[in-house]
Every structure is written in C-alpha cells, then in structure tokens.
Amino acid sequence: MLEGKKIIVTGCGRGMGEATFLAYVRAGAKVVGMDIDQGTGQQAADAACALVQDAATFIPVDVADADSVNSAFDEAVEWLGGELHVLAHPAAIQAASDPATVSASEWDRMFAVNVRGTMLTNQASHRHMKVGGGGSIINFGSISGQRSEPGAVAYSAAKGAVHSWTRSAAGAWGKDGVRVNAILPAIATPMYHEAMSRMNPSEETASFWMNHQSIALGQTYGDATKDLAPVMVFFASDDSGFITGQLIPVDGGQTTTR
C-alpha cells in the first residue's frame, strides 16, 4: 500500500511512534525513524530492519531545537534518496499541571516540544515536500485540546495550539500539494500506563469518568498496532489524497470534532 513512499516518523522509539514506524515498513515504505532517545530509537529501527532489510534507519533529533530538526531532516531526505512524501509526527510530552500553580518553565517546556516541535518538523517537511510535488503531514492532537483539562492545563493548551496550527498549515500549503491532518488518539501507550500507575484509587475513579466512560467501544483505550497503525497507513497513502485540515479522532468514540 505504501510501496515507493519515503517517510519520516518522529517519536519512533516506543508507543504510537514505534507502532507507526513498523506499520510503514510492513506496508512497503522506506522509513527514517527519529527520537530524542537514541537507545529506544535505534532498537525500533533494528526491529524495522528485521522485518524488511535496509527499509529503515534511525536519526536522533530534538524536535524543540530548530538546528537539530533541520539537520536531521536534511540527513533523512538524503538517505531517502532526495524525496520525502510523508511525515508522521507523534513525538510529544505530557505532564499534569494546575492553572493556579503551573510555572512558566513547565508551560514553556510543554509548548517547546508539543507546539514548536510540530511547527519545526512541519516546516522542514514542507520544504522538502514542496519541491517534490506534495505530501502528507500527520500531526498528533488530543481530546485534551478540545475540552476542559483542569489537571493538565499546559498540555491541553499546547494540543489546542497543534489543532489550530494543523488547520492553518493545511490552508496555506494546499497549493503545494501538501496535506496536513491531525490524529486525536486514545491509545494505551507506555506513557498512558505510566500515568495510570501513579494514580491512587480516587484518581483512577476520576480518570475513568473523565476518560474511559465515554469510549463507546468498550470503555477502554485502543491498541497502537491494531487500532492506530492502519489509520496511519491510510493517511500516508494516496487513498487519503483529498483529506486535509482535519482533526481525526481514533478513540473508540471518546470525542467528536467540529
């Protein structure tokens, strides 16, 4: 389905990024995985090459740093043979924060990775896709950017900014043949399990009513390989060629967008 596609996946070391990375290789693409964690990123690339020899490689990146992004993307496109067709950008961070006490440094770190990182990776991708006639950029938003999040105010604000950026970039870059969409997932990642493990019983109950109860398909978060990866393949493929500027929930019915 993705034969001939040249792809970059950020946050490839684990969770949704790793599942996307491996799915693209299985679908026939040539893929560069990127992550700030060189250990997990290289392990994911090794797993990808075990599936299809020489179909993948790993390049470290700090998505919040412009020089790191531009250097890594230029290196990746060179390895990909001078072309870039798809960016999948799951790389992100999440942390609790209270609107009355969130610090400037906590706020700035959340926006640096989640918002500036989206801007920088999208800009680098557009630069390469434009000269090649177009492509698909797949950002990652969240239900947190759609609703009140009193316990994670900085994360909620950052994801809301990703949603707005996605719509605006799609509107600006359509003339270049570059599509920009955002996936809003409810997927049980390592980050999700780590957050759940830190909760006490009352926090678990609150989380159920806020996050799980509204998931129509079983009141449970989805699986990255089974539930998310096929959607990522679709948005990387030409079959999604007339879709841009959209927020796409992959969440079992947890939320709706408008």
- How far is the CA of 222 from the CAs of 150, 186, 197, 246, in angstroms? 24, 6, 18, 21
Comparing CA positions, the residue from 78, 85, 28, 32 lying closest to residue 238 is: 85
Burial of residue 55 (number of CB atoms within 10 Å: 0-12, 13-18, 19+):
middle
- Nearest CA to 113 out of 76, 53, 62, 73 is that of 62
| CA–CA–CA angle 8, 13, 14 (5° rounding) | 115
Round to whole Å and give the CA distance between 42 and 59: 8
- Give yes or no for a contact between 23 and 47, defined as CB atoms under 8 angstroms apart: no
Among the listed residues 24, 155, 192, 221, the single catalytic one is: 155
| Contact between residue 14 and residue 190 where contact means Cβ atoms under 8 Å apart | yes
Give phi and psi for 241, each to the nearest 5. Answer: -65, -15
Element (H or E) spanning 6, and its range? strand 6-9
Q: Is 24 a catalytic residue?
A: no
Q: How far apart are CA 234 and CA 251, in angstroms?
A: 16
Residues noted as catalytic? 155
